[in-house]
């Protein structure tokens, strides 16, 4: 996001250089085995309530899961494909959370 009157890519890059990665802790989760029709191809998947480091709670799908999920696991926000929509196959992206990369 650039400030008003600041349209250059260089200005946008300066604004994002110090951006923090949204990180948090799994507060609660469930394994979704029978999702809504538009998410059926992704099943089964984990849906979690994540407590961000700033204290906010957010609901999100978990991704890149290679081990058991547990309450208290540290996670970080990433951008991932959510679904494909429409006759032309428009890809819709959004946020998910994955285990923190060390």
Q: Mean pLDDT throughout 11-24?
A: 61
Q: Which residue has the tokens 């948090």?
A: 24
Global pTM exceeds 0.85: no
Strands 45-52 and 57-61: antiparallel
CATH number for the domain spanning 34: value is: 2.40.50
Q: Mean pLDDT throughout 3-11?
A: 50
The domain of 91 spans 20-99
What is the percent of the chain where pLDDT is above 90? Answer: 56
Domain contains 5: no
Per the structure, the count of domains in the chain is 1
Q: Mean pLDDT throughout 40-52?
A: 93
Domain contains 43: yes
Mean of all residue pLDDT scores within the chain? 83
Nearby residues of 92 by Cβ (< 8 Å), 6 or more positions away: 81, 82, 83, 84, 85
Domain contains 58: yes
Structure confidence at residue 17 as a pLDDT band (50, 70, 90): low
Domain contains 54: yes
């Amino acid at each position: 996001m650039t400030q008003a009157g600041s349209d250059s890519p260089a200005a946008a890059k300066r604004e994002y250089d110090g951006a923090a990665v949204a990180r948090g802790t799994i507060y609660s989760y469930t394994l979704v085995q029978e999702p809504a029709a538009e998410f059926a191809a992704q099943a089964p998947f984990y849906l979690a309530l994540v407590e961000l480091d700033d204290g906010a709670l957010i609901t999100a799908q978990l991704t890149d899961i290679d081990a058991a999920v547990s309450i208290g696991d540290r996670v970080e926000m990433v951008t991932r494909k959510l679904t494909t929509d429409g006759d032309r196959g428009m890809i819709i992206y959004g946020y998910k959370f994955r285990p923190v990369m060390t």
